Amino acid sequence: MLQDKIALVTGGATGIGKAIGLQMAKNCAKVAIASRNLSHLAGATAEFEELGLTVLPVSMDVRKKHDVERAVDEIVSKWGAIHILVNNAGISGLSMIDDPDDSKWFDILDTNLNGMYLITKAVLKHMPDHNGGRVINISSVLGNSEFPVTPPTAQPSMAWLGSPVPSRWKSLTGASLSIPSVLAGWTPKWPPKG
């Protein structure tokens, strides 16, 4: 089904991203998995290789433009293009409005929102004629709900959904580019205990 397609999955070394990457590879795609955690990359790569799947581990921090561009160039140098981008990299945590330290808030914004922008912008340059190209944005169901444990930092993951940017990119790159968003539900680490 995905024969000859090249996919990049950010946050692809663990959790939802790894599961997406494995499924794409099982469907004959060449899959690049990106993470800023080298030990996670090594573990995931071994898992792909044990199954005989095509994988390219790429060290990348989506918060850093030069890192994103280097990683995308690495994939394109090896495989020639990127047909599918899965924007899955994201972090969570509590950042309360009365906390004097704003670093967690800005780290979440830089990863979950600005990182998605930077990687999408870099990949679109290498999506051949954008024919049948896919940019799949993974967001959090927490950003679209009001659970008692929902931190305010869950909201940035939803900012992309209300943004006019995806539709503008689609109009600039051609009608055959698809940019869906997926609201991921609970994973084994959720809901938090206690």
User: Is domain 6-184 in CATH 3.40.228.10, yes or no?
Assistant: no
Mean pLDDT per 10-residue run, the chain (194 residues)?
93 94 97 97 98 97 97 97 92 77 86 90 81 77 53 52 52 55 54 46
pLDDT value for 192: 46
SS3 193: coil
CA separation for the pair 48, 69 (Å, rounded): 24
Rounded distance, CA 166 to CA 161, Å?
8
Tokens of 59: 């060290």
CB 121 within 8 A of CB 173: no
pTM assigned to the model: 0.81
| Pairing label, strands 84-87, 134-140 | parallel
Q: Is 160 exposed, middle or buried (0-12, 13-18, 19+ CB in 10 A)?
A: buried
